[in-house]
Amino acid sequence: MSFANTLTRVRYKYFPDHLVGELLSKRWMESAVPMIILVATFTYLALNLPHYLSPINLMDMGRLYAEFGLIVLGMGLVMIGGGVDLSIGSMFALSNIAMLAFINMFGWPLWVAIPAVLLVGATLGALNGFLIGYLKLRAFLTTLVTLIIYRSLFDIILLNFAVEISGGFLDSEAWDFIGDGDIFGLPSGFIVFAIIAFVAHILLSRTRPGWHVMAIGGARRSAHNAGIAVKRTVFLTYVISGVLTALSAVFFAARLGSAGSDTGVGMEVSVLTAAVLGGISLGGGRGSVAKAIMGAAIVLLITNGMIRMGMQGGTSSLALGLILIFAVGIDVKWIKNRHKIISKVYVSPTYLKLPDAPSAAAGSGTAYEANNALKDVSLIGLGTIEGPEDVILDRNDNLFTGTRHGDIVRFSGPDFKTQETFAHIGGHPLGMAFDPDGNLLVCVGGMGLYGVKPGGEVYKLTDETTRTWNSVNDDSRLRLADDLDVTPDGQVYFSEATIRYEMHSWPLDSLEGRGNGRIICHDLNNGKTHTVIRNLVFPNGICTAFDGKSILFAETWRCRISRYWLDGPKRGTVEPVIPNLPGYPDNINRASDGNYWLALVGMRTPSFDLAMTMPSFRRKMARRVAPDEWLFPNINSGCVVKFNEAGEILDVLWDISGENHPMITSMREHKGDLFLGGISNNRIGRYHLKDADPDWVSSDSYWGKKS
């Protein structure tokens, strides 16, 4: 068994399970698959075809790519907007023949002919756009029909004017340059394509019209309800598709200078394949320029490569068709199941072996022995506050606490009968502390570190810290700031319980048991924030030692208290204070007699401790069992512990009946009383301490007496 245990421990120590889910939840991961295909195809062809990497070949490929890529861009745009354009092949043929006619038959100069051809493309696209956008015909059928109409038009023109159109020969350097030229070794068409792609990328991802297209493709009705001009935008996507197709035809005409009856035949299939393979969803709303570029490259490499490897034309079309079906299948399945897969893979428990828990059973005679000392607490705010994670009192006997509604509530002392909303922050306020100026500093779950001035004005201290260079999830944002304390020199040390889960899904972190949390320092003097300690297992309570030279912090799922030295010979090191608690530690605060109070939010159970050493059991549980049915740390019974600088347990207070304080997340001593809070409770308890200093106020302990 111990060998198996070691094996499990080693496996979970060195294999980063959690990265799988984090990578999968990145949007750019969707582009990774086409990227890999692209690199693989290119490598294969480069190794197997002679002279594949030669400049001439690359130059030729670049020209083909520019022509093909422009059309894929147009198609991608239409698809992102929720449509499809099957008529591009015919539009391409018509534009091509128009270009040749303008220069050969009519003898127009290029500066007239090229805009005229673009206008032709725009007109053809506009017809599509008008039918689909304004008349709301189905995109698939409409463009199928225009595909046939445009193709017939092309056939008629070709039949009647084939000789005139192909006969002439324009002798122009500019025309040759368009078809054949290069700048710094890059084909002219490729440069134009690169510029257009860049502009399209900016347009699609950074500007309002681009977002409108995305929005319409994602949810047409919602976009309409949001006030987006759906009809016009859809219309414009088809126009742009027509223009890009015409532009592509210009380069084609300049390169070949001829019109054959098979120009553009079957182009819609390869363009569609390119778009879908790149990751542009047929359903609309998902896609990017990068995806279009990648998809175009893959399809071009494959078709071109197959021809050059001597395969017959039919094979190439067959391969394209198969790829298209495959890509569409993946596209549909992936979009449908993406969230399911991610939610299944994201939770990744690890091996956490805790030492055997010290007994706390009544009659066990240990320091933690259960009692019912807290059964006679007097209650504050019963039923009128929800979720007082932390409580704090100022010098004037006012009690402050956070609620799950995002308020900070003030109860006026000394009887605490008057309740008022002191400030509204929005997120659930957790740990609280006073700074030297009497501002209330608050850790707000999901938001970060905030401050409230004595007048109730809320201000932000920080919601971010330094980003770790090698983290997949962006860990610069604060997800779950938990508890804080201030050192004499104005440094705020606060814990962030986990960087993998949001406020409402913290129970998932308990299933993981990984060091997902950290301690962060915010300097009140210069406003800078940096991360101090990483990879802590749900760091929670923080308290500055009485001498101000170290901070004490609790790691909840790890069931231990440690000390981090800020000063002195051990500066910058962490040493254990209480290495093994029988329960899950939460907030730590100062006691009047120079010791510390510690809240145990719940107690360890043998069944959960065992589960923590069996990651695969917990992972399966997270996937199979409904969340309400998960095995959970027992946070239905907790207690308050007093310990000294050496980590010895001096006192313990229980509410074993669980009537008022089944779970205790914080306690604060003030003038001989102990005030108790609980994150899922609806009351604050007030417990009279017999031997405590009746004048002791925590702010005085931190900042000295004030009149």
Partner 1 sequence: MSLLDFGPIASFLGRGEASITVPTLDGAFRPNDFLETADLFGDYAGADTIVVADGQLLLSAGCEVLQIGPNASKVIATFDADITALCADGPVIAVGLASGGVSIVGGPHDRSHIDAVKGKPLTCPTALLLEGDSLTITEGSDRTTPTHWSRDLLERNVCGRVVRVDLSSGQQEVLASKVAYANGLVKTPAGDVVISQSWHHCLSPITDLSKTGSSCHNLPGYPSRISAAGDGGYWLAIFGVRTQLIEFVLREDQYRKRMLDTIAPEHWIAPSLVSQTNFLAPLQQGSVKKLGVLKPWAPPRSYGLVVKLDSDFRPLFSLHSRVGGLRHGVTSAVELDGVLYVVSKGAGQVIAVDLASVQREIVQ
Catalog residues that contact partner 1 under the rule CB under 8 A: 1, 360-361, 370, 386, 507, 602-603, 605-608, 610-611, 614, 617, 620-621, 623-637, 656-658, 660, 662-663, 680-683
Least separation in angstroms between CB 403 and partner 1: 11
Least separation in angstroms between CB 625 and partner 1: 5
Cα(13)–Cα(156) distance, integer angstroms: 72
- Cβ proximity to partner 1: between 173 and 628 the closer is 628
Rg (CA), the chain: 35
- Cβ proximity to partner 1: between 44 and 632 the closer is 632
- Cβ proximity to partner 1: between 335 and 656 the closer is 656
Least separation in angstroms between CB 437 and partner 1: 35
- Cβ proximity to partner 1: between 273 and 637 the closer is 637
- Cβ proximity to partner 1: between 470 and 607 the closer is 607
Cα(239)–Cα(243) distance, integer angstroms: 6
Least separation in angstroms between CB 627 and partner 1: 6
- Cβ proximity to partner 1: between 41 and 505 the closer is 505
Least separation in angstroms between CB 680 and partner 1: 5
The residue written with tokens 């914080």 in the block is 666
Cβ-proximal residues to 668 (8 Å cutoff; 6+ apart), any chain: 390, 391, 392, 393, 589, 597, 674, 675, 677, 698
Least separation in angstroms between CB 377 and partner 1: 13
- Cβ proximity to partner 1: between 125 and 633 the closer is 633
Cβ-proximal residues to 598 (8 Å cutoff; 6+ apart), any chain: 541, 554, 561, 585, 586, 587, 588, 640, 641, 642, 643
- Cβ proximity to partner 1: between 300 and 664 the closer is 664
- Cβ proximity to partner 1: between 552 and 684 the closer is 684
Least separation in angstroms between CB 687 and partner 1: 17
* Side-chain-facing half-sphere of 136: CA atoms under 13 Å: 3
Beta bridge partners of 531: 520
Instruction: Report the alpha-carbon angle 166-169-172, nearest 5.
Output: 140
Whether the CB-CB separation of 492 and 441 falls below 8 Å is answered with yes
Question: Would you give the end-to-end CA distance of the chain in angstroms?
Answer: 64
From the list 371, 374, 357, 413, the residue with the least C-alpha distance to 688 is: 374
Cβ-proximal residues to 94 (8 Å cutoff; 6+ apart), any chain: 120, 124, 150, 153, 154, 157
Q: How would you class 241 by CB atoms within 10 Å of its CB: exposed for 0-12, middle for 13-18, buried for 19 or more?
A: buried
Pair of tokens at residue 505: 């899904």
Cβ-proximal residues to 491 (8 Å cutoff; 6+ apart), any chain: 521, 522, 523, 524, 566
Query: What single-letter amino acid sits at 84?
Result: V
Give the dihedral of Cα atoms 250, 255, 257, 261; nearest 10 deg.
-80
Least separation in angstroms between CB 452 and partner 1: 25
CB atoms within 10 A of CB 9: 16
Least separation in angstroms between CB 9 and partner 1: 15
Query: What single-letter amino acid sits at 105?
Result: M
Least separation in angstroms between CB 353 and partner 1: 13
- Cβ proximity to partner 1: between 359 and 412 the closer is 359
- Cβ proximity to partner 1: between 47 and 626 the closer is 626
- Cβ proximity to partner 1: between 36 and 625 the closer is 625
Please list the alpha-helical segments (H only) found in 207-312: 208-218, 220-225, 230-256, 267-278, 289-308
Least separation in angstroms between CB 372 and partner 1: 12
Q: How would you class 42 by CB atoms within 10 Å of its CB: exposed for 0-12, middle for 13-18, buried for 19 or more?
A: middle
Least separation in angstroms between CB 635 and partner 1: 6
Pair of tokens at residue 416: 């605490």
